[in-house]
Amino acid sequence: MDIFVRNKRYQGEIQAVVLDWAGTAVDFGCMGPAAVFCDVFKDFDIEVTIEEARQFMGLAKKDHIRNMCALPTVSSAWEKAHGRLPDESDIDRIYEKTATDMTQSIAHHAGVIGGVIDTMASLRDMDIRVGSSTGYVSEMMDVLVPLAKEQGYSPDAVVCSSDVPAGRPFPWMCYLNALQLETYPMEAMVKIGDTITDIEEGLNAGMWTIGITRTGNELGLSEAQVNGLPGDELQSRLDAIRTRFETCGAHYVVEQAADILPVIQEINSRLKDGEIPLRG
């Protein structure tokens, strides 16, 4: 095996991809986590909108809660209901309830998204390893990983936010994927996800990035809801998500993980020409 030494540009091919879980590989529309956040805050006498619940998706779950509590609408409602602003002890209590409820919810939102299994098989035929990262913690993944495997989806590496010092947008989960997949350099890897923090995670790790629009949190609709939208309305929404991803630095944007194979080939061509995944 030839070892790449960083005294020149890497001009090999993609060696590994790292996929997010909910909204990218499983749980079309990222429905499970959003519902849990709304229900848990209601248990604390706080009504949050689905938009507020989805706003920080992709972060580690405690970071997600911390950011929700900092929203002016939420902090104001908390002060009105509890006589003070939320503090870290409140965040801990909300997180404890969220972790329990989300672990239970995952079992009902574990369906592998269409085309993912065949696409991962095609990647492996290209000698590309399949990794994964997630804002879920290990107890949640202990439920999700076996359910996905039963359906035929089983990444070569599973890294969650509780495995590293900090979750997204820090690059640590991608670095741990690289270690477990024995992949180097980082520009030989692609991060694929359906949130802004997925893209930021991949960029911070020095990887190519692909944003997912149709099946993920940004659109936030079930497959049936997506199929029920008028074509022009759906396209308008997908275009808006594309713009948001591109603005934050995504190298590519596709509708679903099943669409990535042509992108991988294009990245291989760019690598051969000596390009690296820097935006500037």
Contacts of 185 by beta carbon, 8 Å cutoff, 6+ apart: 4, 6, 10, 206
What are the φ/ψ torsions at residue 26 (nearest 5 degrees)?
A: -135, 170
* Residues 6+ positions from 125 with CB-CB distance below 8 Å: none
Gap between the Cα atoms of 11 and 255, Å rounded: 28
Give the residue carrying structure tokens 């849990």. Answer: 36
20 is catalytic: yes
Rounded-to-integer distance, Cα 51 and Cα 38, Å:
10
Residue whose tokens read 């911070």: 204
Residue 201's closest CA among 20, 14, 16? 20
Catalytic residue among 2, 8, 20, 90: 20
CB distance 102 to 60 below 8 Å = no
The C-alpha atoms of residue 190 and residue 119 are separated, in whole angstroms, by 14
Q: Which of 8, 39, 61, 90 is catalytic?
A: 61
Quote the CA–CA distance of 171 and 264 in Å, as a whole number: 21
Cβ count within 10 A of residue 225: 14
154, amino acid identity:
S
Give the DSSP H/E element, type plus range, for residue 133.
strand 129-134
> How is residue 41 written in tokens?
């805050």
Active site residue 61: yes
Burial (CB < 10 A; 0-12, 13-18, 19+), residue 224, is: exposed
Which residues belong to the active site?
A: 20, 61
